[in-house]
Amino acid sequence: MTLNAVLCGCGAMSKGWLRAIKETPALAAEIEVKGLVDVNPAAAEKLAEEFGLSGAVIGTDLADVIAKSKADIVFDVVIPTARFDVVSTALKARCHVLSEKPMATSLAEGAALIDLAAETGKVHAIIQNRRFISGVRRMRRFVESGAIGDITGIHCDFFLAPHFGGFREEMQNVLLLDMAIHTFDAARFVADKKPLAVYCVERNPKGSWYQHGASANATFEFADDVVFTYRGSWCAEGERTSWESQWRLVGSKGMLTWDGEEGFKAATAGEQPGLLHGFTPVEVPAPEHDEETHGHASVIASFVEAIETGKRPETASSDNIRSLAMVFCAIESAKTGKRIEISA
């Protein structure tokens, strides 16, 4: 089964999607990019040339390109403010849709897209590629093993200073809306708990080159008395953390730390007498399924499998809206100074 695809949004981020398809034989065999859409046709033409898509239909009107290319699926890589219109157009044209995050710019829009996907019977999923990496999968497997007992806390630090230029530097709530959702989604996945409430403080620190919200500190309440804390900044010059954050998982019997790259450490309580009982190191096993650790390629493969089998993809919009709710409730908390309950 070959799926005809239209990619909408031909900026820098689209290259990661096309590269994942091109470099993964199974995806290259199942997906044929038949159309490229962008408000700037020159960007689409340049992308077509770079990835050898000489036969692709190029245009500025998504509905028109879908029709001309006989598309089955749409890859949505547009800026967040254009997402609702793009996804709505694609679903109404009877295409399955895989979207960049965030899935919408409001919970109301997100819910409307979920309803439209259900109405049309099409798969609508989100490319939360950062939960499809080895480190996150290792943490989830480790928590499920019970090696450190019941999970009680997840604590993440994210401090970098990227100078993107472009739309991000003009966004409101830029860290929470454009980046923190990755860590929020991964924490929800690792804990396997429903988010219940949040209190958040958001600032735009001195020296920030962003217009708004380059720093945030949030405390989430998850089900079963699990607490998740997030401290982050996108204008923190100096020694940085990983893009994946630095993690500490606290369990009833021990802890795990991950530096966001290759460094894992885990230990349970030791047996030495005295004030501190020491600790006993514990191995953190590799992910159980390597095919789930390839970022974009793994998400796209999950999306294709869902289309072919009817199985709900892991990042289906109906689930991903809970991660989106974490973001918007954190933003509401920051604006109001109040603890906000999460209902999604």
**Residue (of 310, 287, 257) closest to 134 by Cα position:** 287
Residue 107 dihedral angles phi and psi, to the nearest 5°: -65, -35
From residue 236, alpha-carbon distances to 72, 105, 165, 176, 241 in Å are 43, 26, 16, 15, 10
Domains and CATH numbers, the chain: 3-122 (3.40.50.720), 133-288+324-341 (3.30.360.10)
CA distance 322 to 300: 20
What is the band of 288 on the pLDDT scale with cuts at 50, 70, 90? Answer: confident
Q: Does position 167 have pLDDT exceeding 90, yes or no? A: no
The pLDDT tens digits of the residues spanning 290-320 come to: 899 999 999 999 999 999 999 999 999 999 9
Strands (E), 21-72: 31-37, 57-59
pLDDT of 56 reads 97
Residues near 13 by beta carbon (within 8 Å), at least 6 away in sequence: 77, 100
The pLDDT tens digits of the residues spanning 30-57 come to: 999 999 999 999 999 999 999 999 999 9
Is the preceding peptide bond at 102 cis, omega within 30 degrees of 0? yes
From residue 252, alpha-carbon distances to 191, 248, 255 in Å are 14, 13, 8
Mean of the per-residue pLDDT values for the chain?
A: 96
pLDDT of 274 reads 82
